[in-house]
Structure 1
């Protein structure tokens, strides 16, 4: 049985990006419960990069991820428009104030000039021109390819059943056999707490939530150049897709157990109802519907770092809905913590450390 330096549980974008950073410097194995990597949250992402998404606490990770994502060819121009009605003026003001001094480009605009058919009550707008599409599949595949080139291993259908640490080495029992590693990384997304429990580690209270997305065909078709459009009050977002299609979400967050999430009819109906209150376009058909899971720690910030009470156990979880757009910077930060190198400039590891919680959730 090979003893690895690091075993990473989960081969979604979190585990894949971290493994890509670590594999040139350490012997790494990635253990994935599903038959294919990226089946859950990564494969169901709404696929956009926005420096304001997740709030000011996430913005440094997103902004730091921008250059490597652009250099890798994983971003394409999109732009975002945050809209509101008269009663949302305080939200617009607070949004602008929250990102003042961050160098995120934001500008008050007339939203009707950017969205044809916008209903007249939507009078407030803030443009975020840096927002971009993300090639999620391309990014994920590139990370896994880097792992393979560096000699790292990926084992699928390898659900962690139990793990114990003896003499500085984790023995990890999985459905694909036994593996050993000096460091065990929990990058299991919605399953982060259950994996921790199977490893004898106290959970942190990382809660999965269901998020719904539908693909619509509208009349008129989505016009070229329409930006990503988000309700400043958090009631919806939609963005154009190729072929005149539209992706729409009611911005729902429904608490759930870790599962293979599916869209529910009520959430689809809510999404369409909210959309029809924003524009005068007619919904011709719902062509696709799906749901993914987004997982948050109690303070809604990600958790990166060694567990205070479990030597050799590293948390890389709680990325919410922004795990893909922050993947390069988050992976660089976590790799630095594990390898004992300097963290990336502008990122404060203490902000994301598991020790920030008052105590474990039992």
Structure 2
């Protein structure tokens, strides 16, 4: 059987694109692991923030809100960006960066929102639209849509080689050989590796390790506390059910693609930074994990056909924003892939901004 489109990678990027294509093409979704979403998708910090990733990502995030809310995967959280006196310039630049958007931001006293905040943290910007996101439910809904649309999902099917002849790709995987007219690279941290195996030049998609720890604190994290982020980018934390806290040192350690695991030093750094923000006691580190965030050189995602290899399509470089931008990213990728206009709700997105032709 010759599929119209084979998508390499069953994480949020590949699954959302396959779902967006729906019944308009015969889709094959190839996943290297036993379960789609094992790597970056399954290890997300699980929040949606219109400012996360900066102005280049914000149009995709904002355009995704309606679909995420309709899907029932967002829940109220709010975010608070905090700083010390020496961070005043960063606070001003942050507000200026989003001044021309509809993102609601307001200066506040952070001590009114974070109990036990140490006195040197005097600057705050509130982002009330920030929300929890149910990553597992979102990913599962995309996979269910793919199955309902007649798509095929193959697991344990890591791509080992691919070649194109007479307009058809022969795709060799660990579980067998498949054929498709278009090959989509949605392989996350492995995107450049997949490209090379298909005869395309890598774009410089670099994976970075990000660490998260779940803490039990004294006092417990208040359920009503917002997501808290350092305006200087050294940490973020957010409350979780049962009074737990998810904490990250906001690390970005460049690595080769692998099954990421947390380093003890990164967890220790996160706790040290956290204890410099509030007077709470860290009672226990209940668990910790790490995931890979993969960026193109300009830190914007890449959606579009390769300039030099016919039938090879990029859907990569989503960084840490792939989940919160999934509806818009999938809409952009599907429109370019199928040669269609953007669907309602996404018309204002500048598709060319994310094209691989920019490299």
Work out whether 1:350 is the aligned partner of 2:352: yes
The answer to whether the aligner puts 1:76 opposite 2:78 as a matched pair is no
Query: What residue in structure 2 maps to residue 272 of structure 1?
Result: 271
Give the whole-Å Cα distance in 2 for the aligned partners of 1:302 and 1:224. 33
1:351 offset after TM fit, Å?
0.5
Could you tell me how far 1:223 is from its partner in structure 2? 1.1
Three-state SS of the structure 1 residue aligned to 2:24 is: coil
Equivalent runs, 1:1-362 vs 2, <5 Å: 2-343=1-342, 344-357=346-359
CA shift digits 1:286-306 (9 cap, x unpaired): 001000000000000000000
Structure 2 Cα separation of the partners of residues 114 and 23 of structure 1: 44
2:225, 2:62 → 1: CA distance? Answer: 23
Residue 360 of structure 1 corresponds to: none
Q: Displacement, 1:16?
A: 0.4
2:183 and 2:350 map into 1 onto residues whose CA distance is 23
Q: CA separation in 1, counterparts of 2:4 and 2:277?
A: 53
Runs of 4+ in 1 over 2 A off after TM superposition: none
1:72-117 deviations in Å (ceiling 9; x for gaps): 1010000000000000000000000000020000000000000000
Cα distance in 2 for partners of 1:351, 1:171 equals 31
SS in 2 for 1:23: helix
> What is the TM-score when the length of structure 1 is the normalising length?
0.98
- Distance in 1 (CA, whole Å) between partners of 2:122 and 2:14 is 42
20-29 or 230-239: which moved more? Answer: 20-29
What are the Cα deviations for residues 40-61 of structure 1, in whole angstroms up to 9, with x where unaligned?
0000000000000000000000
1:246 CA displacement: 0.1
Report how many aligned residue pairs link the two structures.
356
**In the aligned structure 1, how far is the partner of 2:104 from the partner of 2:22?**
35
Deviations 1:156-206 (A, max 9, x none): 000100000000010000011000100000000000000000001100000
Q: What is the DSSP-based 3-state SS (H/G/I as helix, E as strand, rest coil) of the residue aligned with 1:24? A: helix
Return the alpha-carbon distance in structure 2 between the equivalents of residues 162 and 25 of structure 1.
Answer: 27
- Per the TM alignment, residue 242 of structure 1 is displaced from its structure 2 partner at its CA by 0.3
Q: Distance in 2 between matches of 1:81 and 1:260?
A: 32
Aligned partner of residue 289 in structure 2, secondary structure = strand
Give the deviation of 1:224 after TM superposition. 2.1
CA distance in 1, matches of 2:183, 2:41: 21
